[in-house]
Structure 1
Amino acid sequence: MAYYLVRAKLKGELREELRSRLDRQEFRSMRPFGVALTQGLTGARRDPATGEAVWEEEDYCSPPLAMERDAVLDRYFDDLRVETVREGEGWRRIAGLPSLWE
């Protein structure tokens, strides 16, 4: 298993739809990635310097986040990029950033 710091541009017109789906826990039942995806997106931060959404994601795919992109991420985000990190490192690096949902 690998961990990634994910950066992507949230499609503004779909922001409320994504938030609503997260609030309803719609992605949690998606196997095998639903719980990790839900936790990552719920805890996502906004980088004020770039306006990007940033979160840490646990993943098993090659290429990274392939299933998540196909099922969810490509609908809501553009320019998705990943950086390999150790578990928890991504969250520590972005802890001081504001929530994506504020």
Structure 2
Amino acid sequence: MAYRFVRARPIFDQLSELRRRLDDGEIEQMNPFGRAMTKSMNNVRFDRESGEAVWVEEDYCSPPLAMERDVLEQYFNDIVVVKENVIESEGWNRIEDYPLLWDEIAEEV
């Protein structure tokens, strides 16, 4: 499996729509990337220092995130694949101390 370590700037006024689409199962239904994106977006973290969302995305596209980008760009700017091949658990461990993005914006969503 291929995993990417990703950073992006959230478009805060769009995140309530993303949360709704995740909760409704709409994102999960997207083939072939919906389940992986749902997992990543449910666990996306927030780096307070940089103001970026950070996550690990299961992805097999070349270039990375080619299929997912259309959806992601509705909710994030400046999407950067920091590292193309990470071990999933190591990627998540790297950001485990960051708060969940959803907790940071709970009052807005």
TM range (shorter): over 0.9
Determine the C-alpha separation between the residues in 1 that align with 2:78 and 2:102: 19
Runs of 4+ in structure 1 off by over 3 angstroms are none
Letter in 1 for 2:7: R
The corresponding residue for 1:56 is 56
The corresponding residue for 1:95 is 96
Query: Structure 2: 5+ residue runs without aligned partners?
Result: 104-109
Query: Structure 1: 5+ residue runs without aligned partners?
Result: none
Equivalent pairs: percent with the same residue?
Answer: 55
TM-score for the superposition, normalised by structure 2: 0.88
TM-score for the superposition, normalised by structure 1: 0.94
Give, in angstroms, the shift of residue 51 of structure 1.
1.2
Determine the C-alpha separation between the residues in 1 that align with 2:29 and 2:21: 12
Letter in 2 for 1:14: Q
Bigger share in helix: 1
The corresponding residue for 1:78 is 77
Determine the C-alpha separation between the residues in 2 that align with 1:16 and 1:31: 22
Give, in angstroms, the shift of residue 87 of structure 1.
2.3
Paired residues in the alignment total 101
